[in-house]
Structure 1
Amino acid sequence: MTIGDGTTLLDIDHVHVFVADCAAARQWYARVLGLTPVPELEFWAREGGPLALSNPARTVTLALFEQSESVHRAIVALRVSGADFLAWQRDLSTAPDLAVRRADHAVAWSLYFADPDGNRFEITTYDHATVAAVIADN
């Protein structure tokens, strides 16, 4: 069996980018790359979370995390459907050498894990209600 067998990764949802000054970075990404805040996700930034910036087509999204003096690493986030998120959660939990953390982000669910070299990945879905209903039943 292959982990994730039978599930479909839809696309790269976003990439985490660590910045020293989120307000300055917001201006730079708008000026240089044309990326602007994703309106429905701006509440995360107001609550100390990431500021999601995207192009108009929403095909490129960066999540800016303000952190000073830390080791900066990228996290690749892969989007899936709600049903596939549940399948990934089940399958990843069977890997004995993989530490997986699940997070409820109010409008999305995410699974976080790393490869053997410490490169971090996130499986995420915006089918929040679908996943919440199943998790509530368990």
Structure 2
Amino acid sequence: MEDRAKKVQILVVEDEDNIAIALDYLLTREGYEQTRLATGAGAVEMIRDNKPDLVLLDVMLPEVSGYDICQTVRADPDCADVRILMMTARGSAMERRKGLAMGADGFISKPFELKELREEVRKILAGESPRPEDRTDA
């Protein structure tokens, strides 16, 4: 049933309006509930207060970087169940390794195909991506 999907809470931390609009379209169509922040400021507090199921986190944000947000959230045991999918326009292998080392559950390069993002979101929510503590390559 779609009830389960409707209960999934996703926080989108993305400063580019065009990308945020595309994400809103995709996530709404998939039946997820989502909230958006356009800057890194306040993201950690919002994650701690609301404990979303997934955070779609841009790497390059005004005020606080996505890497810093990810690292801070991962250091908080109360947020251990929050999944993080990092997004960046600088999709090099080094950026990917850095994001995963900071504790991200997944990493996707912009621009991305909506199908690719949808599959990555489903995989992370289903627990099919290795948790940071389960990784042997970090």
TM-score of the superposition, structure 1-length normalised? Answer: 0.29
Q: Which has the larger radius of gyration?
A: 1
Structure ranking higher on relative contact order (CA contacts 8 Å, 6+ apart): 1
More strand by share: 1
More helix by share: 2
